[in-house]
Amino acid sequence: MPPKIEVIGWVNWHSDHPEIDDWANQFPDYQKAVIDYVKEHQLCFSGTDHQYSENGAPLFSDGKKLIHSMRGWGRIMFEAHKEKFDDPKDEMGYAKFAWLLPDGFEKKLP
């Protein structure tokens, strides 16, 4: 059994850390690790912040980083915060976090 994937830090989108390379098989484990971390630390930031801040990309215990599209990051944030919305199954929920934060949410980066 492979070791559990955990978020161990946050880096810049352009850092030299390798990206996740086996999306088809590994992405669910990485996504769960990010969502768990975001919930635990009450983080909240947009896809724009993910791509342009100094510490917007999660770094994992295997030395890889997750870099995502703004929409993809928006989906992760929506999944982490979906209980705060009227429709937690909203298919367009990613758009609430892709470029900006939804009304009533405050930015909190790691």
> Would you write out the chain's pLDDT as a tens digit for each of its 110 residues?
567 899 999 999 999 999 998 777 788 899 999 999 999 999 999 999 999 999 999 999 999 999 999 999 999 999 999 999 999 899 999 999 999 999 999 999 99
Tokens of 86: 């009227």
Taking the whole predicted model, whether its pTM rises above 0.95 is answered as no
Question: In angstroms, rounded to a whole number, what is the distance separating the alpha carbons of residues 50 and 61?
Answer: 19
Predicted pLDDT at 1: 59
Displacement of CA 89 from its chain's centroid (Å): 18
Give CA separation, 62 vs 4, 26, 32, 67, 94, in Å: 9, 12, 15, 15, 27
Predicted pLDDT at 22: 78
